[in-house]
Chains A and B, each alone.
Chain A
Amino acid sequence: MAEEPRIGVFVCHCGLNIAGVIDIEALTEYAKTLPNVVYAVHNRYTCSDPGQEEIRKGIDEHGLNRVIVAACSPRMHEFTFRRCVSEAGLNPFLFEMANIRELCSWCHPSNPEEATEKAKEIVKMAVAKARLLQPLMPIQVPVTDKALVLGGGIAGMNAALEMAEMGFKVYLVEKKESIGGHMAQLDKTFPTLDCSICIEGPKMVDVSRHPNVEIISFADLLSVEGYVGNFRVKVRKNPRYIIDDNCTGCGECKDVCPIEYPNEWDMNMGVRRTISVPFDQAVPLIYRINMDYCIECYKCVDACGDRQAIDFSQEPEEIELEVGTIVAATGYDIYLPPEGNLYGYGKYSNVITSLEFERLILAAGPTGGHVIRASDGNRPRTVALIQCVGSRDLNIHEYCSGFCCMYTLKHTIQLKEHYGDDVEVYVFYIDMRSNFKGYEEFYQRALEMGVNFIRGRVSEIIEDPKTENLVIRAEDTLLGEPIEVEVELAVLATAAVSSEDAGEVAKILNITRGTDGFFMESHPKLKPIDTPVDGIFIAGACQGPKDIPYSVSQGAGAAARAATILSKPSWEIEPIVSVIDPDKCRNVKAKCGICASKCPYGAIRVEPGKPAEVIAATCHGCGTCVAECPSDAITQMHFTDAQIFAQIDAALGESAEKKILGFLCNWCSYAGADLAGTSRFEYPPTLRAIRVMCSGRVDRDFVLEAFRRGAGMVLVGACHLPYDCHYISGNWRMKERMEALAKVLEKLGISPERFRVEYVSAAEGVKFASVIKEMSEEMKELGRERIIAENEKVKPYLDRMMARKRPKQVAVAQIRT
């Protein structure tokens, strides 16, 4: 690429978001002074149509061959502007963003002058990188037009049906014996009071009958490998000891089975036989023998007779599925108050949870639809329903579980409909959240039926040891008085929590969980169904507690998102991959292979005597191999050593000793920094951030160069250990590398607090802001003189060490797929 770079800089006001703090005029004028910048303008909203038009015009009229937009975070609009630039005929990878909003104007509102200076340097860094950018062609990979839906609840089933109707083959993997999820455990649904299984049953049958859906039930997810369009999924089918095709679901076996054990489906309030289905409308209707309890009397074999459906020799079966996309719809769990809780759950017989209440009032439940007390089997004449148990609680879960107010209203109406005036119902609430279609009317209905609502959080429940009645202690905040109500049954509306195996699933799929334990979406407002992993989507309660219509909508939404990929014959993969220079690779002369051993994806092929080779389609672009290669033989496209050195150079041009140079990984620490800005957490404008895809990319040489150029402090930001790294283990490689480097730096005479490795997740805006604040304070305490002195002492050593590193512009190598 011998052509002279002609750089255009487009500075965005972003309304007042940027313009309110930063002097846009001054910034634009400054940009014009930078070498190779031939055109600089500013715009109110660069991402809008007129804004994008301006960019296109600029490229045409001024012959621009590099474009910089100084605006929001690249995590926000890099895609938008890349598309805009390519429409004007320029390769999208000749575009770079300067983040002067999330990382500048939003976090330094009280410091407009310093913020403007910082913004100038951010633009300078972007220009320095842009000068060295190369055009890149995206890699095309074939797409398998099949999908995997993980979880057979109402969201998962909908996703599966929608995709099946579109014509794609769907594997629906469910860990329980039957699909249906929690909705199948309910008696009625709010606000229509439809019988739950009556509306869900037909849907379950539809799923089982659809020619494009294959239900793989009673199966666990073992591993997922590959990338968008080409996932290889391993699933283990657990043995039912029944031959699926032969079982007619007649149930004659269960009638002759002697052993019963607690039925989880009935919240352990009812029992099921050793050979049984969890509930009568199970889909698929195939029985299962629980070998933990079976005494092998073979009465079931006799009863089954000619059908010969029972096979005690069955083994777990591992199968491999090839799919193009994955939809995770793994649902939620119910919070159960632990031992010693103040509501007496687990201690007092007559305190139950709402899901247990649901199983009692269900006609097919363990009591045949009668709400009875555990202590004496009698119907309660007074019932108290207690809200926000485990939710909206700073000690347990801060969030609101969303559907509990509604299902409690449903329970009160059910009680009144069953027992009329024979039952007195009290609801202890903080707020009544009935905010969707028909929900407020439902609340009014409960009020009209004579349900008593007491606004006050219950502090404790005490039992009368003789009658086993419960005394509810709360404050009636509307009256402003403490209140005690004696009831015969207490129902706790407990929180919805992330499912027990959410951590396991997140690890296998390589997606993150938020602070509340639910899966994290790409963007809470605009991308609630996507995850940062291309090709994997989330739907339903696993993303956050939600009611049935919301889950259904998300299921359909996930199907649409997945279909975007499945409907294409091939999918474009970002060419930000690593390329090995065969002339420099050490493996040719001496046995090396370090890159292959450090690659988290096994994407590097190494054969003795030959240069190592990157398999581009499997390369996820973390850059760990680049930093690990002892011969500097590897380059990462779009994040070359030369580009990063240029950014370091630009950042530390003036007053380097007052600056914190930060290397932030795209998925966690950079996102956390963005979040700090989005949340308007203020911190001193000392940071100059360089974005890398993974902390594993951060070479020792970058840190050394930073100190050589006189940086005050250096920060490496990464995803949390042990499992959060978007590229699986990049952060571990970085940790090892930096721990060794820290010792070297200390020996060279650099104060240990000047070099920090911090683990900040995308959800930790607060933490990021406080890290920068802390580091700025420490820098101030150390004092400018001391920092300059240390740097001067160290410079000759570092000069020698870096002399061997003369990053040359790497010609665009042939990316082999």
Chain B
Amino acid sequence: MPMKIFKTETEDKLTINRIMHARSYSLLLDRKRCIGCDICNIVCPREAIDIEKPAKIEGEKLTPPRINVDENKCQFCGICNTICPFGALALEINDERTIPVLRTESFPQIIHEIEVDTSKCPTDCRECEEICPFDLIKISVDEEKNGVNVDVETDHCPCCRLCEVKCPHDAIHTRKIIFGSIAIKSEKCPGGCSDCVDVCPIPGVLYLSADGKVHVNEFPCIYCGVCKIVCPAEGALEMQRTSVHHTPVHSGAWNKALEKLCSTEGMAKELRSRLIVKAQESVRRRLGKEVP
């Protein structure tokens, strides 16, 4: 049977399929989870992903940008899978979830670091469950241990840290996935425009102030970059990513991806820090003792 490559689109899902006689590939994009940030677009080695800016309709809230994948270019490497902070993409080979670039350590996994110390949780507290903007936390009462189970869908959590901040009992520890900086130049912000506020997935990061301009509360910002995509005023919104929290890896592909996501300096910094760690290790081995 000759190879078939096709794309299927529904309201909630975009599926790319490559069906061969004895091997099938599918890439699924969950549109409910995708916020249109285009991080996948930036790192895709085949430039197979496209982003469509939303059309502005007067008086209505702006819809998020729409991702489109070119089925003829996708090589089913799985890089978009691992890099998406929201876990919106799923790759399957022969109906089994797998990510080829992870198998060969050609790409790192981003670390969704969320730890909940349930021993500190009173059974009636639902603060984190209620604050999570993506409904990823489910609290269930565990009769047996007389406490609660806090189940977090870590794969889809972009680590905005709102739950950590909201928790009154200091039970949650999180860490950002992407580090960076974001600032709005008020003089360039057009005022009366709420495009970035409309598309930002985390409530409270961007907000319209009394002066009609947008201001930013940087703490929960995940540096996804959706605001930058839709901002109509050039130079008004500056967002820079500086580093990514990921599993250790030694890969030219990741170096390139990091450079594209952050900046050349960001990549250089990471390479240097890796070098320092390596140097420390080799001295340690040589001297046979700890090096401060």
The CA of A270 and the CA of B22, in the complex, are separated in Å by 7
Q: Is the CB of B23 within 8 A of A297?
A: no
Nearest CB of B to A255, in Å: 8
Q: Mark B1-39, 1 if CB is under 8 A from A, else 0.
A: 111100000000000001111110000000000000000
Q: Is the CB of B104 within 8 A of A270?
A: no
Q: Which residues of A contact B1 (CB under 8 A)?
A: 269, 349-352, 356, 374
Q: Which residues of A contact B23 (CB under 8 A)?
A: 269-271, 366
Is B179 close to A, CB under 8 A?
Answer: no
Q: Is the CB of B104 within 8 A of A377?
A: no
* Stretch binding the partner chain, chosen from B183-191, B239-247, B250-258: B250-258
Q: Mark A323-348, 1 if CB is under 8 A from B, else 0.
A: 00000000000001000000001100
Closest chain B residue to A350, Cβ basis: B1
Q: Is the CB of B2 within 8 A of A297?
A: no
Closest chain A residue to B45, Cβ basis: A295
Is B105 close to A, CB under 8 A?
Answer: yes
Q: Which residues of B contact A296 (CB under 8 A)?
A: 45, 252-253, 256
Q: Is the CB of A259 within 8 A of B77?
A: yes
Q: Is the CB of B251 within 8 A of A261?
A: no
The CA of A372 and the CA of B20, in the complex, are separated in Å by 12
The CA of A345 and the CA of B21, in the complex, are separated in Å by 13
The CA of A131 and the CA of B86, in the complex, are separated in Å by 94
Closest chain B residue to A336, Cβ basis: B2
Q: Which residues of A contact B21 (CB under 8 A)?
A: 269-270, 352, 356, 360, 366-367, 374
The CA of A632 and the CA of B18, in the complex, are separated in Å by 67
Q: Is the CB of B104 within 8 A of A262?
A: no
Is B79 close to A, CB under 8 A?
Answer: yes
Q: A258-B101, A258-B103, A351-B1 are in contact. Are A297 and B254 (CB under 8 A)?
A: yes
Q: Which residues of A contact B75 (CB under 8 A)?
A: 259, 261, 293
Is A523 close to B, CB under 8 A?
Answer: no
Interface centre among A295, A336, A366 (most CB of B within 10 A): A295
Partner of B104, one of A268, A293, A297, A351: A297
Nearest CB of A to B69, in Å: 16
Is B100 close to A, CB under 8 A?
Answer: yes
The CA of A58 and the CA of B261, in the complex, are separated in Å by 93
Nearest CB of B to A271, in Å: 6
Q: Is the CB of A297 within 8 A of B252?
A: yes
Q: Mark A253-282, 1 if CB is under 8 A from B, else 0.
A: 000111111100001111100000000000
Is A568 close to B, CB under 8 A?
Answer: no
The CA of A261 and the CA of B73, in the complex, are separated in Å by 11
Nearest CB of B to A431, in Å: 28
Q: Is the CB of B104 within 8 A of A299?
A: yes
Is A79 close to B, CB under 8 A?
Answer: no
Is B223 close to A, CB under 8 A?
Answer: no
Q: Is the CB of A299 within 8 A of B3?
A: no
Interface centre among B2, B19, B77, B251 (most CB of A within 10 A): B2
Is B209 close to A, CB under 8 A?
Answer: no
Q: Is the CB of B2 within 8 A of A259?
A: no
Q: Which residues of A contact B103 (CB under 8 A)?
A: 258
Closest chain A residue to B257, Cβ basis: A295
Q: Which residues of A contact B78 (CB under 8 A)?
A: 258
Q: Is the CB of B2 within 8 A of A268?
A: yes
Chain A contact residues: helix, strand, loop or mixed: loop
Q: Is the CB of A268 within 8 A of B20?
A: yes
Q: Is the CB of A299 within 8 A of B106?
A: yes
The CA of A341 and the CA of B215, in the complex, are separated in Å by 62
Q: A299-B251, A374-B22 are in contact. Are A259 and B3 (CB under 8 A)?
A: no
Q: Is the CB of A295 within 8 A of B22?
A: no
Q: Is the CB of A295 within 8 A of B20?
A: no
Partner of A270, one of B4, B20, B105, B107: B20
The CA of A293 and the CA of B253, in the complex, are separated in Å by 12
Is A298 close to B, CB under 8 A?
Answer: yes
Q: Which residues 295-326 of A sit at the B interface, judged by CB distance below 8 A?
A: 295-299, 302
Closest chain B residue to A298, Cβ basis: B252
Band of interface residues on A: 20 to 34
Q: A262-B20, A271-B20, A367-B22 are in contact. Are A295 and B106 (CB under 8 A)?
A: yes
Q: Which residues of A contact B100 (CB under 8 A)?
A: 258-260
The CA of A399 and the CA of B103, in the complex, are separated in Å by 51
Q: Which residues 351-374 of A sit at the B interface, judged by CB distance below 8 A?
A: 351-352, 356, 360, 366-367, 372, 374
Q: A293-B75, A351-B1 are in contact. Are A366 and B251 (CB under 8 A)?
A: no
Closest chain A residue to B23, Cβ basis: A271
Nearest CB of A to B274, in Å: 14
The CA of A129 and the CA of B3, in the complex, are separated in Å by 64
Q: Which residues of A contact B79 (CB under 8 A)?
A: 295
Q: Which residues 57-110 of B sit at the A interface, judged by CB distance below 8 A?
A: 75-79, 100-101, 103-107
Partner of B251, one of A298, A352, A360: A298
The CA of A771 and the CA of B51, in the complex, are separated in Å by 61
Partner of B105, one of A299, A374, A377: A299
Q: Which residues of A contact B4 (CB under 8 A)?
A: 346
Q: Is the CB of B22 within 8 A of A269?
A: yes
Nearest CB of B to A122, in Å: 57
Nearest CB of A to B101, in Å: 5
Q: Which residues of A contact B107 (CB under 8 A)?
A: 258, 295, 297
The CA of A366 and the CA of B23, in the complex, are separated in Å by 9
Q: Is the CB of B22 within 8 A of A297?
A: no
Partner of B253, one of A262, A295, A351, A366: A295
Q: Which residues of A contact B18 (CB under 8 A)?
A: 262
Q: Which residues of A contact B106 (CB under 8 A)?
A: 258, 295, 297, 299
The CA of A334 and the CA of B201, in the complex, are separated in Å by 53
Q: Which residues of B contact A351 (CB under 8 A)?
A: 1
Closest chain B residue to A372, Cβ basis: B22
Q: Which residues of B contact A297 (CB under 8 A)?
A: 101, 104, 106-107, 251-254
Q: A258-B77, A262-B3, A297-B107 are in contact. Are A377 and B22 (CB under 8 A)?
A: yes
The CA of A737 and the CA of B175, in the complex, are separated in Å by 82
Q: Which residues of A contact B20 (CB under 8 A)?
A: 262, 268-271, 366
The CA of A289 and the CA of B251, in the complex, are separated in Å by 17
Q: Which residues of B contact A302 (CB under 8 A)?
A: 250
The CA of A256 and the CA of B105, in the complex, are separated in Å by 9
Q: Which residues of A contact B252 (CB under 8 A)?
A: 296-298
Nearest CB of B to A358, in Å: 12
The CA of A258 and the CA of B82, in the complex, are separated in Å by 14
Q: Which residues 121-167 of A sit at the B interface, judged by CB distance below 8 A?
A: none
Q: Mark B102-137, 1 if CB is under 8 A from A, else 0.
A: 011111000000000000000000000000000000
Q: Which residues of A contact B251 (CB under 8 A)?
A: 297-299
Q: Which residues of B contact A346 (CB under 8 A)?
A: 2, 4
Q: Which residues of B contact A356 (CB under 8 A)?
A: 1-2, 21
The CA of A298 and the CA of B101, in the complex, are separated in Å by 12
Q: Which residues of B contact A350 (CB under 8 A)?
A: 1
Nearest CB of B to A109, in Å: 52
Q: Which residues 222-272 of B sit at the A interface, judged by CB distance below 8 A?
A: 250-254, 256
The CA of A260 and the CA of B20, in the complex, are separated in Å by 13
Nearest CB of A to B109, in Å: 14
The CA of A374 and the CA of B3, in the complex, are separated in Å by 10
The CA of A374 and the CA of B103, in the complex, are separated in Å by 27
B residues with a Cβ closer than 8 A to A are: 1-4, 18-23, 45-46, 75-79, 100-101, 103-107, 250-254, 256
14 A-B pairs in the complex with CB atoms less than 8 angstroms apart? A258-B78, A259-B101, A269-B3, A269-B20, A295-B79, A296-B256, A297-B253, A360-B21, A366-B23, A367-B21, A367-B22, A374-B19, A374-B21, A377-B22
8 closest residue pairs by CB, A with B: A297-B106, A297-B253, A269-B21, A298-B252, A374-B1, A268-B3, A295-B253, A258-B104
A residues with a Cβ closer than 8 A to B are: 256-262, 267-271, 293, 295-299, 302, 336, 345-346, 349-352, 356, 360, 366-367, 372, 374, 377
**Apart from A271-B20, A295-B106, A352-B1, what are 19 other A-B pairs with CB-CB below 8 Å?**
A258-B100, A258-B107, A259-B75, A259-B77, A260-B100, A261-B75, A262-B3, A268-B20, A269-B1, A269-B20, A296-B252, A297-B106, A297-B253, A298-B253, A299-B106, A349-B1, A350-B1, A366-B20, A377-B22
